[in-house]
Amino acid sequence: MLLFSLIPMQFQTPNILLATPEMFLLAGTCFVLLTDLFVKDSQRFITYLLTQIVLLVTAGLVLFGTTEMNLILAESYQATGQSGATAFSDMFVLDPMAQILKISILLVTVGVFVYSREYLRARDMYKGEFFTLGLFAVLGMMIMVSAKTMLLIYLGLELLSLAMYAMVAFKRDDGRASEAAMKYFVLGAIASGMLLYGMSIIYGVSGSLHLDHIANYMSTHPVMENIGLLLGLAFIIVGLGFKLGVVPFHMWVPDVYDGSPTAVTLFLGTAPKIAAFAMVIRLLVEGMGDMVQGWQQILSLLAALSLLAGNIIAIAQTNIKRMLAYSTISHMGFVLMGILAGSHEGYAASMFYIITYAIIAMGVFAVVLLLSREGYEADQLNDLKGLSSRHPWYAFMMMLFLFSMAGVPPTVGFYAKLSVITAVVDANIIWLAVFGVVMSVIGAYYYLRAIKLMYFDKPEGSTSSVLALVKWDFRVLLSLNGLSVLALGILPGTLMTVCLKAIQSSL
């Protein structure tokens, strides 16, 4: 079944200006890449500054849009009554959900680069390519967020993944980093293969790669008896599970988090999670919304297993990065809980959860970066000992982040968990909601243990008493980051409303 003739008789020029932010980012990335060739090692600051400017301008373009972009959006609103417009033969979509997720990705990446600058400088990794690869990864994430066909989802994912593999292996003489990169690469390739296979089956059955056409096909056919579609769905969920890092596809997460340089872990554990969320929403909700019965069951199991394994194995860790890796697995379980609720409130709760999680994770890894210095990685839990007597303010920030991860009010983590659990209860999956609550109580143990180490234990010797030399921008951003966790926790309404409105007008 061909939905459009192979060769279009009259080809209409796509509304390419709708992708202005992406085009600006790509052009800016190439500019940074070329400028870096003419910059001496001592002037690397120029590359860094250009990177940040490119990211901020792109975020501005997404937020405010150009005149042409707004015109296209307004025309589309008048024609269809929906906010959001498509371009490039309906392959690319710019809707409120895409806008919010893109802005979050861009701003989180700006923060990641601010945090990682001194770390990179101390480890001979302060090179232009680090920033260029980061920018390409951001481009991949933006494409994933705006993709309306499986083809673009896959291409965006590959662009992101390839840049990430190279960043993990960036310290190529470090054995552990190379091992992490190999594991990440091999498992990522298997996951991509699974995802592609699932996509090809769905394409074979429904006759189109476009998510709207797939949704149309599914709404007019009995989908739950169609074993072909179910097989495709299973493969797609395996692929998504690998990319999200949920149990039982989580084995790579601790090794990669632990093995990569901390600055890369910081990037890996924040912005790509937001893009992965978008990928799940686009594929499962927009494309295969009629198979909700099918994916709800599978996701419930994955979410429950992630909560169980993530929280319990994290207790046994002595390494902060590994502990945070397992904590990520359990947080991804919470994100899945919101999605599998299958309601707009649930998707909005998940969106809120993933955005705030990215902010919190950024802060936690920033403190880990802060404690490490030249030739020394502060990646053991014992390195936190007595932090409060040495640096009360940073210890307070770390406490806010850890409380937020544990879900203690008044931090934002509490509200995020609450809204996800409410959505699950509304969907009448009570067992999962109860299980989620019990597991987050178990999880609170290892967060509180870290806080106890900071506040009630004496520092060990002089080895961990020196703080890395960080500039004012790092300190200011970390303080803002910590306070935002508190502010969002006390006043979550605005962000939550924005998320809900975006989901309602996009889906």
User: Binding residues for other proteins, per CB under 8 A?
Assistant: 2, 4, 6-8, 11, 14, 19, 26, 33, 87-89, 91-92, 127, 129, 132-133, 136, 139, 143, 149, 151-152, 155-156, 158-159, 162-163, 165-166, 169-170, 172, 204-205, 226-229, 231
Q: Which is nearer to other proteins, 34 or 438 (CB)?
A: 34
Q: Which is nearer to other proteins, 192 or 504 (CB)?
A: 192
The per-type count for the chain, helices as H runs and strands as E runs, is 21, 2
Q: Which is nearer to other proteins, 12 or 78 (CB)?
A: 12
Burial 318-331 (b: 16+ CB within 10 A, else e): ebbbbbbbbbbbbb
CB of 140 to other proteins, least distance (A): 8
Q: Which is nearer to other proteins, 6 or 79 (CB)?
A: 6
Q: Which helix (H) or strand (E) holds 36?
A: helix 20-37
C-alpha to C-alpha distance for 346 and 305, rounded to whole angstroms: 19
CB of 200 to other proteins, least distance (A): 12
**Omega of the bond prior to 261 within 30 degrees of 0, cis?**
no
**Three-state SS letters, 247-279:** CCCCCHHHHHHHHCCHHHHHHHCCHHHHHHHHH
CB of 429 to other proteins, least distance (A): 28
Q: Which is nearer to other proteins, 133 or 291 (CB)?
A: 133
C-alpha to C-alpha distance for 296 and 284, rounded to whole angstroms: 10
Q: Which is nearer to other proteins, 229 or 433 (CB)?
A: 229
CB of 458 to other proteins, least distance (A): 43
Nearby residues of 420 by Cβ (< 8 Å), 6 or more positions away? 334, 335, 337, 338, 341, 346, 349, 350, 353, 436
Q: Which is nearer to other proteins, 105 or 478 (CB)?
A: 105
Task: Name the residue type at position 244.
Answer: L
Nearby residues of 137 by Cβ (< 8 Å), 6 or more positions away? 159, 160, 163, 164, 167, 267, 271, 272
C-alpha to C-alpha distance for 378 and 279, rounded to whole angstroms: 34
CB of 156 to other proteins, least distance (A): 7
CB–CB of 289/234 below 8 Å? no
C-alpha to C-alpha distance for 52 and 322, rounded to whole angstroms: 29
Q: Which is nearer to other proteins, 156 or 239 (CB)?
A: 156
Place of tokens 């990669």: 256
CB of 105 to other proteins, least distance (A): 17
CB of 463 to other proteins, least distance (A): 30
C-alpha to C-alpha distance for 235 and 198, rounded to whole angstroms: 5
CB of 36 to other proteins, least distance (A): 11
CA distances to 155, 177, 260 from 255, rounded to whole Å, are 25, 9, 8
| Residue 59 CA from chain centroid, whole number | 16
CB–CB of 395/371 below 8 Å? no
Q: Which is nearer to other proteins, 165 or 277 (CB)?
A: 165
Q: Which is nearer to other proteins, 15 or 262 (CB)?
A: 15
CB of 188 to other proteins, least distance (A): 13
Q: Which is nearer to other proteins, 81 or 222 (CB)?
A: 222
CB of 311 to other proteins, least distance (A): 29
C-alpha to C-alpha distance for 142 and 496, rounded to whole angstroms: 22
C-alpha to C-alpha distance for 260 and 178, rounded to whole angstroms: 8
Task: Name the residue type at position 419.
Answer: S
CB of 129 to other proteins, least distance (A): 4
